[in-house]
Amino acid sequence: MRHSIWICAAVVALGTLTACPPKENPEQPKSSGGGEKRQEKIALKPPPLEKARRPEGMNALRVSNGTISKDQVVEYFKTHNLPMNYTATSDFHVESVDMMTAKQVSDRLAGESTGLADDERLAFVTLAGMFTFTGPPKSSAANFKRAYAVFDVKNGNLMMVGTLEPNREGGQTTTAKQ
Amino acid sequence: MSRWRIVLFACFSILIGARLFAYSCGNPSSGHCYGVASWQEQPEYFGAYADIQIGQLHSTSGGFVDDEIWLVDGTTPACAGNPFTMCWVESGYIADGGSNQVYFWADSRPMNSSTFNLHLLGGTDGTGTVDHFMMIKDGRGAPGLFQLWIYNDSLSTLYHGTSTSNTMSGRRILIGQELAGTSGSSATNVNFTRNIWAVQVLGPEYVFWYNRQTHNGAVTSANPPFGSWTINATSPPPPEGGQFTTHCCS
What is the H or E stretch that residue A2 is in? helix A2-19
Comparing CB atoms, the residue among A43, A132, A159 nearest residue B120 is A159
Contacts of B200 in chain A (CB under 8 A): 41
B156 at the A interface (CB within 8 A)? no
Q: Which residues of A touch B114 (CB under 8 A)?
A: 108-110, 112, 162-164
Question: How many residues are present in chain B?
Answer: 250
Question: Above 60 in pLDDT, residue A79?
Answer: yes
| pLDDT range class, residue A78, cuts 50, 70, 90 | very high
Q: Are B32 and B59 in contact (CB under 8 A)?
A: no
Task: Please tell me whether residue A128 adopts helix, strand or coil conformation.
Answer: strand
- State the residue range of the domain holding A84: 70-177
User: What residue of A is the nearest CA neighbor of B160?
Assistant: A52
pLDDT digits (tens, 9 = 90+) for B127-146: 999 999 999 999 999 999 99
A25 has pLDDT over 90: no
Could you say which of A25, A83, A142 has the minimum Cβ distance to residue B96?
A83
Residue A108 — pLDDT band, cuts 50, 70, 90? very high
Domain membership of residue A85 (yes or no) is: yes
Residue A146's φ and ψ, nearest 5 degrees, are -140, 145
Query: Which among A28, A44, A162 has CB closest to B114?
Result: A162
Average of per-residue pLDDT across B54-58? 97
A20-34, B37-51, B138-152, range with the lowest pLDDT: A20-34
Indicate whether B1 pLDDT > 90: no
Residue A96 maps to a domain: yes
> Nearest chain B Cα to A45, which residue?
B207
Percent of chain B with pLDDT over 90: 84
Of B62, B200, B208, the CB nearest to A44: B208
Helix (H, G, I), strand (E, B) or coil at A114: coil
Compute the average pLDDT of residues B75-101.
Answer: 95
CB atoms within 10 A of CB A153: 17
- Taking the Cβ of residue B182 and every Cβ of chain A, the question of whether any pair is shorter than 8 Å is answered with no
Q: Which residues of B touch A52 (CB under 8 A)?
A: 149, 158-160
Question: What is the pLDDT, as a whole number, of residue A147?
Answer: 98
Instruction: For chain B, give the percent of residues with pLDDT over 70.
Output: 90
Kindly report the average pLDDT of chain B as a whole number. Answer: 92
Q: In the predicted model, what is the mean pLDDT of residues A52-66?
A: 93
Tell me which chain A residues have a C-beta less than 8 angstroms from the C-beta of B195. none
Task: Please tell me the predicted confidence (pLDDT) of residue B250.
Answer: 87
| Chain-chain contact of B118 with A165 (C-beta, under 8 angstroms) | no
Q: What is the DSSP string of A38-96?
A: E---EEEPPPPGGGPPPP--B-----BTTB--HHHHHHHHHH-PPTT--S-GGGEEEEE
- Give a yes or no: residue A86 inside a domain: yes
What pLDDT does B219 receive? 98
Q: Is B174 close to A44, i.e. CB distance below 8 A?
A: no
**Of A14-18, B38-42, B188-192, which range is least confident?**
A14-18
Confidence of residue B31 (pLDDT cuts 50, 70, 90): confident
Average pLDDT of the segment spanning A37-42: 87
Flag whether residue B157 sits within 8 Å of chain A, measured between CB atoms. yes
> Is A163–B83 a contact, with Cβ atoms under 8 angstroms apart?
yes
Residue A21 pLDDT: 33
What's the whole-number average pLDDT of chain A?
81
A97 in a domain, yes or no?
yes
Q: What are the φ/ψ torsions at residue A21 (nearest 5 degrees)?
A: -70, 155
ipTM confidence: 0.90
**What is the helix (H) or strand (E) element at residue A100, kind and residue range?**
strand A92-101
Residue A41 lies in a domain: no
Q: What is the number of structural domains in chain A?
A: 1
The answer, yes or no, to whether residue B26 has pLDDT greater than 90, is no
Torsion of CA B99, B101, B103, B106, to 10 degrees: 50
Q: Is A89 left (phi over 0), alpha (psi -120 to 50) or beta?
A: alpha
Asked whether the predicted pLDDT for residue B159 surpasses 60, the reply is yes
List pLDDT tens digits, range B197-240.
999 999 999 999 999 999 999 999 999 999 999 999 999 999 99
Q: Is residue A168 part of a domain?
A: yes
Give a yes or no: residue A77 inside a domain. Answer: yes
Out of B118, B199, B211, name the one closest to residue A160 (CB). Answer: B118
Higher pLDDT, A37 or B179: B179
Average pLDDT estimate for A40-63: 95
The pLDDT, as a whole number, for residue A64 is 83
- The whole-number pLDDT of residue B99 equals 82
- Residue A124 near residue A97 (C-beta atoms within 8 A): yes
Is A113 within the bounds of a domain? yes
Alpha carbon of residue A146 to chain centroid: 21
